[in-house]
Amino acid sequence: MPFSLSRPNWVLIFFTLTLVGCQSTKNSEFNASELGKSFTINFGQVVSVREVPIGYHESGKGIVIGGMAGIAGGSVVGSGGGNVLSVLVATALGMALGSTTEALLHDGRGIEYGIELDSGIKMTILQNIPKQGSVPAVGERIFVRNAKGLQRVLPLTALPAGIADPMGK
């Protein structure tokens, strides 16, 4: 039986898009946009660590994807005739659910590191709490990976092969 774009298939497509649009990457993973780019690293020491709230500004993707899924679902519930009331209610519910899902996936807690680099420069860096591994502690040697202003605090155990801490620690 050939694939047709009947109403149930559209619903499946919209719900699949909803799930794909809500994917989240982990802090410990590299982003595909980082491929082929060079990074500088600086060595230093953690002088302070504190947990901070990280708010999220809606991109609108959750609302749009949820709304589209709601339109498709409401149309199916409305017996294919697109009963206006069922489409409106399902669209509103889909938008609310999409917005809430997007916020839940992105709102959270972060870590603000106070760092003193070996050069004497002091800085703070805010980043997500790592999903795996531990947060570098005060006094711990670290390196800061810099890519055009985007910086990440990483433990020395994450140093690429062939690069050593100049302090020999």
Check whether residue 39 and residue 100 sit in a common domain. no
CATH number at residue 138: 2.40.50
Instruction: Confirm whether pTM is higher than 0.85.
Output: no
- Give the pLDDT confidence score for residue 21 in this predicted structure: 45
The residue from 73, 90, 106 where one domain ends is 106
Check whether residue 85 and residue 159 sit in a common domain. no
Check whether residue 51 and residue 62 sit in a common domain. no
CA–CA distances in Å: residue 129 to residues 74, 85, 156: 39, 44, 17
Check whether residue 85 and residue 42 sit in a common domain. no
Check whether residue 38 and residue 83 sit in a common domain. no
- Give the pLDDT confidence score for residue 50 in this predicted structure: 93
Residue type, 60: G
Check whether residue 140 and residue 115 sit in a common domain. yes
Check whether residue 75 and residue 126 sit in a common domain. no
- Give the pLDDT confidence score for residue 37 in this predicted structure: 72
pLDDT in tens, the chain (169 residues): 444 445 555 544 554 444 444 444 444 455 666 666 778 889 999 999 998 887 766 677 777 888 777 777 777 766 655 577 777 787 888 888 877 777 666 657 789 999 999 999 999 999 887 777 778 899 999 999 888 778 889 888 888 888 878 887 6
- The answer to whether residues 144 and 155 touch, using CB atoms and an 8 Å cutoff, is no
- Give the pLDDT confidence score for residue 18 in this predicted structure: 47
Check whether residue 90 and residue 156 sit in a common domain. no
- Give the pLDDT confidence score for residue 46 in this predicted structure: 96
Check whether residue 45 and residue 66 sit in a common domain. no
Check whether residue 165 and residue 112 sit in a common domain. yes
- Give the pLDDT confidence score for residue 131 in this predicted structure: 73
Domain region containing 154: 31-55+108-169
What H or E segment, with its residue span, contains residue 146? strand 141-147
- Give the pLDDT confidence score for residue 110 in this predicted structure: 85
- How many domains are contained in the chain? 2
Check whether residue 66 and residue 50 sit in a common domain. no
Three-class SS of 74-108: HHHHCCCCCCHHHHHHHHHHHHHHHHHHHHHHHCE
Check whether residue 121 and residue 165 sit in a common domain. yes
